[in-house]
Amino acid sequence: MNLIKPQSLNKGDTVEIIAPSGAVDKDMITRSKVFFEKLGYKVKYGKHIFENYRYMSANDEARLEDLHNAFLSDETKAIVCARGGYGAIRIADKLDYKIFRNNPKIFCGYSDITALSIMMLKKSDLMTFSGPMAQSDFADDNPNEYTTQSFFEVISEKYSLYNSKNIIKDGSASGIVWGGNLSTIVSLCGTDFIPDEKFIFFLEDVNEPVYKLDKMLNQLINIPNFRKNIAAVAFGEFLNVDNEQWLFDLEKEFASTLNIPAASGFKFSHGKEKQTIPVGIKAEFNGTLKIV
């Protein structure tokens, strides 16, 4: 893979907010716009961002149009998704990957947006970012300082160590950084989404009982390319899990089954405090995650 890195964001550049997944709250999106403008950025919205179609922001064609147009825009320098929810998987098979490859831009989101991020990497070689979103993180009067600082540092290529809380299985490994929201990743099963090279798997989720996490991890283990190419695993936060001990046992079992180094407690999360991480970049793993 010849990784394509987007240009850094500078003051005065334009940030475009789009909603490829769930329906948005207009007041919250407006507040996130004010947040970016106070920091010296220009802000524009996707054409269909305030529409509603069932539980999504707009119908598939409209959400796809906003995504493609944001990349095609000469004005837009960074694309920040509004929120997760559901909807990305419905347009994942309709993406025009030439657009992303020929017009590389910062593209950031997490949760349901994971489906778009890892497909862009797989099919376009575009480095994306798993990180905060407009409605979810930047609409508060005082957005979380930790989350905000990590976001602006990472999209400016100022990478720091990603530290864990617990070493699950000792060892070192290297590979590209790949992953995101576990349940969204599993929803891509049946498509060509696994990297063709060694990768360090980072993952997180929310409101999922341990037995479902178990099922999803084993679904991935059953994919030959996943077993072949996974080099290490960085477990993020699994908020509102039903049994912490079962979760820890599952994490140990996963690392042992694949015989790979592992650590947990990384700040990849649905919570208020979250680290932004570049997806597709090369890194080294040794209990910490170091971008190289």
**What is the set of domains in the chain, with CATH numbers?**
14-154 (3.40.50.10740), 162-291 (3.50.30.60)
Residue 55, phi-psi category: left (phi > 0), alpha (psi -120 to 50), beta (remainder)? alpha
Task: Give the active site residues.
Answer: 111, 204, 270
State what percent of residues in the chain have pLDDT above 70.
Answer: 100
Over 90: is that where the pLDDT of 24 sits?
Answer: yes
Distance CA 130, CA 53 (A): 25
For 148-168, the pLDDT digits (tens) are: 999 999 999 999 899 999 999
Residues 187-233: pLDDT tens digits?
A: 999 999 999 999 999 999 999 999 999 999 999 999 999 999 999 99
What whole-number distance in Å separates Cα of residue 81 and Cα of residue 45? 10
Mean pLDDT (the chain) is: 97
| pLDDT given for residue 207 in this prediction | 98
**pLDDT score for 1:** 86
Residue 114 has pLDDT above 90, yes or no: yes
Enter the pTM of the model: 0.97
